[in-house]
Amino acid sequence: MQIKVLVAYASKYGSTQEVAEKIAATLRENDLLVDLKPIREVKPLEEYTAIVLGAPLYISTSPTGSENHLASFRFQNTFLLNV
């Protein structure tokens, strides 16, 4: 089975998106199938082997509530990146 990774991000001014794009490119260079998308567009996650979630911090909180959004999917293989 081919490993498929979701790289999802929240970004207000673009820094987190830029980092997410670089992570996705590196994973693709290593022959992984990668979906890259804003967290608000993420729906069912069953098809993914792992998730990389990028979110900025503003006054110690993520403005989009990304962690809560992802937690609602109860997905285990998640790597959280705060930019």
Ligand X SMILES: Cc1cc2nc3c(=O)[nH]c(=O)nc-3n(C[C@H](O)[C@H](O)[C@H](O)COP(=O)(O)O)c2cc1C
Interaction site with ligand X (CB under 6 A): 11-17, 56-60, 83
Residue 45, Ramachandran bin (φ over 0: left; ψ between -120 and 50: alpha; else beta):
alpha
For ligand X, the closer CB: 60 or 72: 60
For ligand X, the closer CB: 4 or 63: 63
**Closest separation between CB of residue 10 and ligand X, Å?**
7
**Closest separation between CB of residue 65 and ligand X, Å?**
14
Amino acid, single-letter form, for residue 78: T
Amino acid, single-letter form, for residue 81: L
